[in-house]
Amino acid sequence: MSNSPEADDSVLEIRGQHPLSGHIKVSGAKNSALVVMAGTLLCSQACRLRNIPDLVDVERMAAVLTALGVKVTKEADCLDVDPSDISHTRAPYEIVSKLRASFFVIGPLLARMGVARIPLPGGCAIGARPVELHVRGLQAMGADVQIEHGTVHACIPGTRGRLQGAKIYLDYPSVGATETLMMAATLADGETIIDNAAQEPEVADLANFCRAMGARIRGVGTKTLTIVGVPSLHSTEYAIIPDRIEAGTFLIAGAITRSTLTLSPVVPEHLGAVIAKLREAGSDVQIESHNRVRLLPGEEILPTDIQTLPYPGFPTDMQAQFMALMTLSNGNSLITETVFENRLRHVAEFNRMGANIRVNGNCAVVQGSSILSGAPVMATDLRASAALVLAGLGAHGTTVMSGLHHLDRGYERLERKLTQAGARITRIDGQSSTSPSDVTHSTVQPSH
């Protein structure tokens, strides 16, 4: 059972400078699980999903599906979803406000039921997160979409009952918009072309899931997707891909503690940019087999510039973790965040640990040093929380991290996996280990 999202007053106590060793198992990809769960709405029969991680966000997506009348049961990493009887077409605000990804149900719900009413997900810690690319694409497919009182009302007007295929160009290769429109197109009349589509592996995973249900999709993994609508989709059993961001996080845990680690399962080509940058930073990453990699740390951590970009560029979800590594490099690194407009909030927390990072717009200049010192820190978003754990592993002394509700949304038992590999991390319920004045509180940000 994942840790309760309400466990907001728990903290992680991380004792730094302990080497790691051995093998870490990588869980199923959060950003595949969430959108594939939404994709089951396209099907009028029960589906079985495998390799589903035990995360708060997965529980929240299951709650959204349940609110729509879908039967959802989870047994270990296996999720049985029976969407044969969708009784509601409005997603509840109290759940959507906690899980941005629940907005992904709009495409499949509209395509399957002809109507969908989804609260606007709103902004979050890393940015405004607009959804106009989703909305404009659905309108191009013939949907009538109005936004009233913070809710997106979408319906298929008249007696057509089905969306119409369309040629859509995305101004930005948005992962979510690509996924929304691809799902909607699987049941539309005619052919839909999505140009400038996102190429993230999780988009390809969703496409492969839809194809397993009988969807007709070409160009999977490229920037042009062609979908020919079919009357209906059928039951399937599908295992999602391993989480490339969790794997990248563990690779950096090895590099920052100068430890040799092996990870599996992984898909090495999903980690192309991360592996290239870790090699540039002095680590050796060996691809041991089609689903296993080994990290060998370098003598030193070398300063390395990164710029986050849509896949196959360096992933924005790895930016904070890589910055943690650069704080211990022997030079200066330039880190440029081009995907989200406010995803450098972890800089202040790293500087509390003795890092020397200056921010100018969407760029951070990291002046590496030999020492980070443990301190009380606050997680500001999902990936920043993982990055602070990594910094704590590399720091001298003890780091106490609060804001664990961010961490538990996206990582399956992170501290347990790292502890099994030799880290000294303890989850402490409440704040008995630090006086409240040490740890600043922040309002719980809606997750993204």
Q: Give residue for tokens 């629940």.
A: 102
3-state percent helix, strand, coil for the chain, nearest multiple of 5 = 35, 25, 40
What are the distances in angstroms from CA 36 to CA 16, 47, 342, 423? Answer: 37, 11, 27, 33
Segment 363-392, which members bind ligand EPZ (CB under 6 A)?
382-383
String marking each residue 146-185 x if it binds ligand EPZ according to CB under 6 A: --------------------------x-xxxx--------
Map residues 34-73 to x or -, x wherever contact with ligand EPZ holds by CB under 6 A. Answer: x---------------------------------------
Question: What is the edge-to-edge ordering of all strands in the sheet holding 332-336?
Answer: 306-307, 332-336, 363-367, 356-360
- Residue nearest ligand EPZ by beta-carbon distance: 176
Check binding of 410 to ligand EPZ (CB under 6 A): yes
Q: Is 43 a catalytic residue?
A: no
- Least distance from ligand EPZ to the Cβ atom of residue 299, Å: 32
CB-based contacts of 436: which residues, under 8 Å, 6+ apart?
A: none
Identify which range of 8-16, 73-81, 128-136, 393-401 contacts ligand EPZ by CB under 6 A: 128-136
Size of the site for ligand EPZ (CB under 6 A): 27
Q: Is 316 in the site for ligand EPZ (CB under 6 A)?
A: yes
- Return the residue matching tokens 């979510």: 176
**322 near ligand EPZ (CB under 6 A):** no
Binding mask 180-209 for ligand EPZ (x = CB under 6 A): ------------------x-x-x-------
Q: 10 Å Cβ neighbour count for 370? A: 10
- State how far the alpha carbon of 390 is from the alpha carbons of 67, 358, 444, in Å: 37, 20, 22
Contact call for residues 214 and 23 (beta carbons, < 8 A): no
* Token code pair at residue 28: 């199923």
For CA atoms 142, 148, 151, 153, the dihedral sign is: negative
Binding mask 256-285 for ligand EPZ (x = CB under 6 A): ------------------------------
188 φ, ψ (degrees, to nearest 5): -80, 165
DSSP classification of residue 268 = G
Q: Could you say whether residue 123 binds ligand EPZ (CB under 6 A)?
A: no
Distance CA 112, CA 227 (A): 16
Q: How far is the CB of 134 from ligand EPZ (least distance, A)?
A: 5
* Chain residues in the site for ligand EPZ (CB under 6 A): 30-31, 34, 101, 127, 129-134, 172, 174-177, 198, 200, 202, 316-317, 339-340, 382-383, 410, 448
Q: Which residues are catalytic?
A: 124
